[in-house]
Structure 1
Amino acid sequence: MNTASEEQQTTDTLACLPGSFSLAGKHILVTGAGRGLGQGMALSVAACGGRVTAVSRSADELARTAELAAERGGECAILPADLSDVAGIDELVRAAAENGPIDGVIHAAGVQLRKDAVDITPEDWTFVQTMNLQAPFFLSAAIARLQKQEKRGGSHVFIGSLNSSIGLPRIAPYVATKTGIVGVARSLSAEWAADGIRANVIGPGYFRTKLTEDLLAQPEQHARIMGRIPMRRLGDPADLGGMAVFLLSDASSYITGQLLNVDGGWLGA
């Protein structure tokens, strides 16, 4: 049974619900922000009032992201960095924090490798694990360290895939990372929730990006994929924006440790 204070809390929350979707005043770090899904989510964050620090290896791509954010009335600082250098992550976070305390992070940087399992080398495996699993973990740990010191909450948004829920062929190292990132988010959620720090995973379906262009260029694969998506279209980077903004905003303040799929209905069919 609800107590009077719980009822008042519920009433107050409902009263401010429209504004709770705003990112005004929040500083969000977005990796992989130079193109594709990362750029699309960075632009959505900026358009909803968040201050973005955009991270990618390419300064030129980041400059374009900042330009597009400005066209939408948003604020975007750029920070070129190579996340495969895990040892440099603490310095990356210190540099990002010069733009203000970090309220949230979107881990959009990632790599793909299409290869028969019997042909995968240890070097292949290590590279994919470093970029898709190690880097996001250590980046979130470094950010959470600051958030705990500053006694501020935060939202950490990891990027999974269909392979976080099902297995697809010829991408075993990638599947391992996208399954693993869900476990990481759940563990961090359990560990950090009492500090007001949340961790969730967005699971995109098939989107037209650099990671999928080789697959989608094959007519038979393109037909197979399109025939499997109930919405009968590929995702656009902007389609992830709403979910990312929601998970970073106060509107999702009681959601943590979850995998939320944005897949055009693929897993629901």
Structure 2
Amino acid sequence: MTSVAADPTFPVDLACTPSDFSLAGRHIVVTGAGRGLGQGMALSAALAGARVTLVARSADQLAETADLARRAGRSDCFVHPADLSNLEAIPELVETISERGAIDGVVHAAGVQRRKDAVDVTPEDWRFVQTMNAEAPFFLSTAIARRQQAESRPGSHVFIGSLNSTIALPRIAPYVASKTAMVGIARILSTEWSRFGIRSNVIGPGYFQTKLTEDLFSQPGQRERIMGRIPMDRLGTPADLGGMAVFLLSDASRYVTGQLLNVDGGWLAA
């Protein structure tokens, strides 16, 4: 922590300072960084001073994110296309990314959804969603943490949950299961990794206007119904989530681990 006063006797553990929210000098990996919430969190980390490795399947979408960062004055975003559903390739992916510098943090924003009644869910539907939403984040985090522990390097792992980490909305059974799993994963990793200075937390986004929710909002009356439940009377934006991501990646949250923090405009409280 940086001292808040010129007096060297000031107790530095008494107050949080602006520098505690800085990510300057840190290398952050953000998956799903090509669009939507992942893109917003990647840009937020970059604007907080981090070097960011952008991971997603689409090189074109990642290039767009990197271009947005450059337009904001940040030129150190690295484009790294990858298919995270190939779990066996994740250790090699981490090794390659680490050549740009040791990894200090990761945000698991890649995610998928299939909307249908539970009785119509196929084994392929289930495997597809679980692989992308739960298994890939787990194995990516463990591959990163393995290196962090070997290097005695602290870190922060940010998982992206959902309202469905707390409740269960209908017609998305595989998604609900995967987002509930995020909370359990973050908690077990926090109990195992805290002694290494590695934290793990979950952000639970509420209703945001993204590609993933386009189908939902296109249904007659759904947008009005959802808006009627949000006390802040608006949908979330990627910038709304970026602040929480920066907080959890930074020293400002150094005593926060194993937690689910909802960013939902008050939806769960209503």
70-79 or 112-121, which moves further after superposition? 70-79
Give distance in 2, aligned partners of 1:157 and 1:22: 16
Matched residue of 1:219: which SS? Answer: coil
Report how many aligned residue pairs link the two structures.
Answer: 262
**SS at 1:54's partner residue?**
strand
- The question of whether the paired residues in 2 share the 8 Å contact of 1:90 and 1:142 is answered with yes
Partner of 1:45: 45
**What's the counterpart of residue 3 of structure 2?**
none
Please, which runs of 5 or more residues in structure 2 have no aligned partner? 1-7
- Residue in 1 that maps onto 2:179: 178
Q: Contact (CA 8 Å) 1:202, 1:259: kept in 2 or not?
A: yes
Equivalent position SS for 2:135: helix
**Paired residues of 2:229 and 2:267 also in contact (CA < 8 A):** yes
Give the whole-Å Cα distance in 1 for the aligned partners of 2:41 and 2:104. Answer: 15
CA drift of 1:144 comes to 0.0
1:219 to partner: Cα distance: 2.7
**2:59 alignment partner in structure 1:** 59
Match of 1:3 in 2: none
Which residue is 1:4 aligned to?
none
Shift of residue 38, structure 1, vs aligned partner: 0.2
- TM-score under structure 1 length normalisation: 0.95
- 1:51-130 matched pairs, under 5 angstroms: 51-74=51-74, 75-130=76-131
Give the aligned residue type for 2:46. A
Amino acid at match of 1:181: M
SS in 2 for 1:105: strand
Instruction: State the secondary structure of the residue aligned to 1:140.
Output: helix
Q: Which residue pairs with 1:264 in the alignment?
A: 265
What is the match of residue 29 of structure 2? Answer: 29
Q: 1:94 to 1:119 in 2, by over 3 A?
A: same
Distance 1:23 1:158 in 2: 18
Q: Which residue of 2 aligns with 1:200?
A: 201
2:46–2:52 contact (8 Å) kept in structure 1:
yes
SS in 2 for 1:228: coil
What is the aligned partner in structure 2 of residue 142 from structure 1? Answer: 143
Describe the shift of the 1:9–1:124 C-alpha distance in structure 2 as closer, same or farther (beyond 3 A). farther
Work out whether residues 90 and 139 of structure 2, in 8 Å CA contact, stay in contact via their aligned partners in 1: yes
Mapped to 1, the partners of 2:95 and 2:151 lie a distance apart of: 14
- CA shift, 1:49, in A, is 0.3
In structure 2, what is the Cα distance between the partners aligned to 1:155 and 1:100? 16
1:9 Cα deviation (Å)? 11
- Paired residues for 1:224-239 under 5 Å: 224-239=225-240
Map of 1:5 onto structure 2: none
CA distance in 2, matches of 1:72, 1:99: 22
Q: Matches of 1:185 and 1:16 in 2, distance apart? A: 25
Task: Describe the superposition over 1:162-186 as per-residue Cα deviations: whole angstroms up to 9, x where unpaired.
Answer: 0000010000000000001100000
Q: Closer, same or farther in 2 for the Cα pair 1:182/1:10, shift >3 Å?
A: farther
Residue 125 (structure 2) pairs with residue 131 (structure 1)? no
Distance 2:216 2:16 in 1: 45
Higher helix residue share: 1
TM-score, scaled relative to structure 2: 0.95
Q: Residue 50 of structure 1 aligns to which amino acid in structure 2?
A: A
Report the equivalent of 1:152. Answer: 153
Measured in 1, the distance between the counterparts of 2:118 and 2:210 equals 23
Q: Percent of aligned pairs with the same residue?
A: 72
